[in-house]
Amino acid sequence: MEISEKLLCLFSADVTPEGDRYTVEVPRREIETGSIEPGETYRVALIATGEQLEKSESGGRPPSEPQPPVEVGEIRYVEIEDIGKQGDGIARVERGYVIIVPGADIGERVKVEISEVKSNFAVGDVIE
């Protein structure tokens, strides 16, 4: 999933019923930090939790083992946290899943395209 550069804030919230409508509460810290302003209109995107995604992808039953959080061809922005034994950059995403990024250095934030996916790691090629 690609995240828009226009993203102002990201948080988790429950959807609660209120009569004939539903409410998503914005945490106070998002207002206090100036990310968003009360009374303004914003576009909202809802992203399923890991559990909801697993249920939808497995037909409602839990998968036999956790699936990699990335797919071949997926574009991601990642931050290189470490260098592997062969000198490749190492990034970690959901659940600590490793993405190996050849040619990247510690501290770099790079846009990668996933070229290979294994059960415990993936390889991403820098595209930007």
Give the CATH fold of the 75-126 domain: OB fold (Dihydrolipoamide Acetyltransferase, E2P) (2.40.50)
Tokens of 80: 């290189």
Residue intervals of the chain classified under CATH 2.40.50.140 are 75-126
pLDDT digits (tens, 9 = 90+) for 68-119: 999 999 999 999 999 998 999 999 998 889 999 999 999 999 999 999 999 8
Which pLDDT value is given to residue 76? 93
Of 111, 115, 80, whose CA–CA distance to 2 is shortest?
Answer: 111
The total number of residues written for the chain in this structure: 128
Kindly report the number of other CB atoms within 10 A of residue 117's CB atom: 19
72 in Cβ contact with 115 (< 8 Å): yes
Which pLDDT value is given to residue 52? 55
Tokens of 14: 């429950």
Q: How far does Cα 116 stand from its chain's mean position?
A: 18
First vs last Cα of the chain: how many Å apart?
Answer: 16
Tokens of 42: 């914003």
pLDDT digits (tens, 9 = 90+) for 25-48: 888 888 887 778 888 888 887 777
Our separate counts of H helices and E strands in the chain read 2, 8
